[in-house]
Amino acid sequence: MSAISSLVDHEQVSTSAQPCQAESVSPNLHLKGLLFKYPTLIENADEACWDMLNQAKLMNVPAGTVLFHEAMECKHLMLIVEGQVRVYKDSSEGREVTLYRVAPGQLCVHNLNNLVNGLAYPIMAQTETDMQGLVIPRPIFHKTLEDSASFRTYVLRTLTERLSHMVDLVSGFAFDRLDLRIACWLNHEFEIGCGKPIKITHSELAQELGTTREMVSRILKEFEHKRCVQLARGKIHLQCRHTLKLASQGKGKK
Amino acid sequence: MSAISSLVDHEQVSTSAQPCQAESVSPNLHLKGLLFKYPTLIENADEACWDMLNQAKLMNVPAGTVLFHEAMECKHLMLIVEGQVRVYKDSSEGREVTLYRVAPGQLCVHNLNNLVNGLAYPIMAQTETDMQGLVIPRPIFHKTLEDSASFRTYVLRTLTERLSHMVDLVSGFAFDRLDLRIACWLNHEFEIGCGKPIKITHSELAQELGTTREMVSRILKEFEHKRCVQLARGKIHLQCRHTLKLASQGKGKK
DNA sequence: AAATTTCTGTAACTTAGGTTACATAGTGCA
DNA sequence: TGCACTATGTAACCTAAGTTACAGAAATTT
């Protein structure tokens, strides 16, 4: 509660109702460039879908902006062109868990939820980087849902995929030890980063996984002793992919 | 793995591919009777939606049937008319968590996921009671998604609602103590049952919440001492709604 | 009625995770 | 160079949750 209001007070907030720096996107060509990260949406897009995209406005949002929170209503759908958004839930004791991230090519399903059901949901979304997005007003979103088969497919896919992802989250919390969850997270990050060092602080990682900084420090240090990783200020270097894989499979419990 | 295959071996399994006892539903009137628990679907149903429903086949499934598991592919969408299905995830150590239940009026979103994305997902669904459902073949489901605005709305609503529910699950695991989670669960059950005793064993409740029987026994006994509930074999009686509410709000920590 | 199975109670113990409370080490910059 | 700030390390302690290992009660079957 206090965490939320302090954020809202002290940081730049753009309610979806008042997009800042919105401008029309003119030619189709330009659109295709902006949306090249949405291949599943674009490649099969039908006319109705293009209609919607042509009516979208481009909007710039600085890093750290709260896009929605608590009981906020969404008046727009946002397609992210550049940058990324973190969607998370915070606890009354000041801890956090990341639920998922929205990157170019993806939709914020809670944004969708809000648009479809008209229900706000007590969760937060905040830009992690400067962001550029295409803003689609609610009525146009609904109309396109009616008219465009391709858009529909895209929306449905996104929703069901997120759902599976949420099941993974639940089962991690329910069954896996924290060291396992950290190892898996590292593994995944190293995989998509091709082994490049991960830039994150221990307390950020704690907020990612819904735990505390001290626990993360403790477990990362263990991993360093096992020579999976090497720690530096604000960075985690991969030392041995194999050892980390083992740790992430729950083996080598020590 | 072994848990799954043993279930599959020893219990009655109906792959969605071979519905047992399927029969055509003839007149519209009959359909309306069957689907009276689907008001949101029925009341606004357009012609395309009725078309689909008219092509559905009625199917009876006995209690304890595994509807899908692991990497099983769904060839049908199932609208539950009578009875209920439990969708859950099991751990390698033999524990379980219930993800959600599907009752008349609802859809199994993982069934949807499978139909939409063609991806199977390692999670289980099993009938808890004898069940009667309307089976809709995959191609007809897809066609109706194209043609029926009302069906689409219904599907989207269901999906986004489940998603919110999953967030609650995650945040419970991430932030709430087990006693809190049990208290909330009891509260909810007493609410929908209007205070009637809940029929459940401790180990079933453990599987519900992803914990162990001993923990549930211990915490329920605590609640009995606090005079929230009264325990009997296979049953939990509500003693004082107020005290339980307090416990479920994390107050009266003892 | 006796035997068997299922359910519950509970004590003793272990372990994972969280908390408190510092110390120390980098980083940026005045 | 020194100061402030942020990030990390770590020990001691606490508590929630899980585990082991029973005993006994209630239901069900033979």
A198-213 pLDDT tens trace: 999 999 999 999 999 9
Q: Which of B172, B202, B236 is the last residue of a domain?
A: B172
Which residue segment(s) compose the domain that A209 sits in? 176-248
Looking at the fold, whether A146 and A189 belong to one and the same domain comes out as: no
Other CB atoms within 10 A of residue A213 CB: 14
The predicted pLDDT at position B217 comes to: 98
Looking at the fold, whether A182 and A160 belong to one and the same domain comes out as: no
Report CA(A233)–C1'(C29) in Å, whole number.
19
Q: Which two tokens stand for residue A144?
A: 């396109």
Q: Is the C-beta atom of B43 closer than 7 angstroms to strand D?
A: no
Looking at the fold, whether B193 and B146 belong to one and the same domain comes out as: no
**Residue linked to tokens 């993360």:** A216
Looking at the fold, whether A196 and A86 belong to one and the same domain comes out as: no
**Which amino acid does the sequence have at A76?**
H
Facing residues of A237 across strands?
A230
Looking at the fold, whether B127 and B242 belong to one and the same domain comes out as: no
- Say whether pLDDT at B222 is over 50: yes
> For the sheet containing A131-137, what is the strand order?
A23-24, A57-61, A131-137, A76-82
Looking at the fold, whether A77 and A160 belong to one and the same domain comes out as: yes
List, for residues A49-66, the tens digit of each pLDDT value: 999 999 999 999 999 999
**Residue linked to tokens 């990612």:** A208
SS3 assignment, position B167: helix
Q: Which of A121, A137, A172 is the last residue of a domain?
A: A172
Helix/strand/coil percent split, chain B, to 5: 45, 20, 35
The H or E element containing residue B168 is helix B149-175
Query: Which residue has the closest alpha carbon to C19 C1'?
Result: A214
Q: What is the pTM of this model?
A: 0.87
Report CA(A230)–C1'(D3) in Å, whole number.
30
Q: Is the C-beta atom of B215 closer than 7 angstroms to strand D?
A: yes
Looking at the fold, whether A68 and A114 belong to one and the same domain comes out as: yes
What CATH number does the domain containing B76 carry?
2.60.120.10
User: Which pLDDT band holds residue A9 (cuts at 50, 70, 90)?
Assistant: very low
Domain count, chain B: 2
Which member of A119, A156, A171 has the closest CB to residue B97?
Answer: A171
Looking at the fold, whether A6 and A36 belong to one and the same domain comes out as: yes
Facing residues of B229 across strands?
B238
Which chain A residues 170-209 have CB under 7 A to strand D? 201-203
List, for residues B3-49, the tens digit of each pLDDT value: 333 333 333 334 343 344 455 555 555 788 888 888 888 888 999 99
Q: Which is higher by pLDDT, B120 or A162?
A: A162
With helix as H, strand as E and coil as C, how does chain A read? Answer: CHHHHHHHHHCCECCCCCCCCCEECCCHHHHHHHCCCCHHHHCCCCHHHHHHHHHCEEEEECCCCEEECCCCCCCEEEEEEECCEEEEEECCCCCEEEEEEECCCCCCHHHHHHHHHCCCCCCEEEECCCEEEEEEEHHHHHHHHHHCHHHHHHHHHHHHHHHHHHHHHHHHHHHCCHHHHHHHHHHHHHHHCCCCCEECCHHHHHHHHCCCHHHHHHHHHHHHHCCCEEEECCEEEECCHHHHHHHHCCCCCC
- Across all residues in chain B, what is the average pLDDT? 85
List, for residues B168-220, the tens digit of each pLDDT value: 999 999 999 999 999 999 999 999 999 999 999 999 999 999 999 999 999 99
- Report CB contact under 8 Å: B109, A145: no
Looking at the fold, whether B185 and B133 belong to one and the same domain comes out as: no
User: Which pLDDT band holds residue B113 (cuts at 50, 70, 90)?
Assistant: confident
| A253 assigned to some structural domain | no
Measured in angstroms, the CA of B207 and the nearest CA of chain A are apart by 11
**Please, is A227 exposed, middle or buried when counting C-beta atoms within 10 Å of its C-beta (0-12, 13-18, 19+)?**
exposed
> Dihedral of CA B107/B113/B119/B122: which sign?
negative
B97: which chain A residues are within 8 Å (Cβ-Cβ)?
170-171, 174-175
Which member of B112, B145, B174 has the closest CB to residue A173?
Answer: B174
List, for residues A134-186, the tens digit of each pLDDT value: 999 999 999 999 999 999 999 998 898 899 999 999 999 999 999 999 999 99
CA-closest candidate to residue B112, choices B149, B90, B89, B145: B145
CA–CA distance, B209 with B189 (Å, rounded to integer): 13
| A254 assigned to some structural domain | no
| Chain A contacts in chain B segment 81-100 (CB below 8 A) | 89, 91-93, 95, 97, 99
